[in-house]
């Protein structure tokens, strides 16, 4: 367990230390560390949705933000924002690999035992409750989103989004109140 914690912390430290000047050194080091630890974590990084998100982040944002004083194939872009986007993309990859390695190799029981040693004794209880509640919260959220998508488009987009966000929050608060009221030892 300690090995994977230290590897995950090492990946996070590498991510925090990344800058545009040291990317050539730290990115291969990050991938080598993750590759030696867990090949599955690297495979998950290269899923097409995540790669498409990073491509939009790296190549799309410099077209619209910052001082566009450079040209690439006749398209003006901001080189400063491009450099920042590249660094942020590699940082997000390193942090995501750290999270994947950490969660793949450390069980909930190991985490609860480690947190009890640092005096966080209620982790297993909180985790059990969250695993019980998350499917219901997901159902409420998906039902609200389906209603939002099928509703009449009479208002402008901001008013309608605000209205449905308020409805979602009210439904979640109602669910939390009902759950709390049904707990043993309440209402005495």
Query: Do residues 136 and 175 touch, judged by C-beta distance below 8 A?
Result: yes
Q: In terms of pLDDT, which residue wins out, 69 or 111? A: 69
Cα distance between the two ends of the chain: 43
Per-residue pLDDT tens digits for 40-56: 777 777 888 888 888 88
pLDDT of 185 reads 65
Q: How far is 146 from 114, CA to CA, in rounded Å? A: 41
Ramachandran angles phi, psi of 61, nearest 5°: -65, -40
DSSP-based three-state secondary structure for 119? coil
Instruction: Sort residue 106 into left (φ over 0), alpha (ψ -120 to 50) or beta.
Output: beta
Quick one: what percent of the chain has pLDDT higher than 70? Answer: 95
pLDDT of 159 reads 78
This prediction has a pTM of 0.63
pLDDT of 169 reads 92
Helix (H) / strand (E) containing 13: helix 2-17
Query: Do residues 101 and 11 touch, judged by C-beta distance below 8 A?
Result: yes
pLDDT of 73 reads 84
Strands 70-72 and 75-77: antiparallel
Query: Is the pLDDT confidence value at 187 over 60?
Result: no
Per-residue pLDDT tens digits for 127-152: 778 878 888 899 999 888 888 777 76
Instruction: For residues 106-125, give the mean pLDDT.
Output: 74
């Amino acid at each position: 367990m300690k090995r994977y914690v230290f590897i995950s912390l090492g990946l996070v430290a590498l991510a925090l230390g990344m800058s545009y000047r040291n990317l050539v050194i730290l990115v291969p080091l990050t991938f080598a560390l993750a590759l030696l630890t867990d090949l599955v974590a690297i495979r998950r990084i290269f899923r097409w949705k995540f790669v498409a998100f990073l491509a939009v982040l790296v190549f799309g944002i410099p077209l619209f933000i910052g001082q566009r004083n450079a040209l690439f194939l006749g398209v003006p872009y901001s080189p400063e924002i491009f450099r920042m986007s590249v660094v942020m993309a590699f940082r997000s990859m390193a942090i995501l690999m750290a999270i994947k390695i950490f969660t793949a190799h450390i069980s909930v029981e190991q985490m609860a035992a480690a947190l009890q040693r640092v005096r966080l004794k209620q982790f297993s209880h909180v985790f059990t409750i969250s695993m019980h509640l998350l499917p219901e919260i997901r159902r409420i959220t998906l039902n609200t989103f389906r209603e939002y998508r099928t509703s009449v488009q009479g208002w402008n987009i901001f008013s309608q989004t605000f209205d449905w966000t308020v409805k979602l929050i009210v439904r979640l608060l109602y669910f939390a109140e009902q759950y709390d009221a049904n707990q043993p030892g309440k209402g005495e």
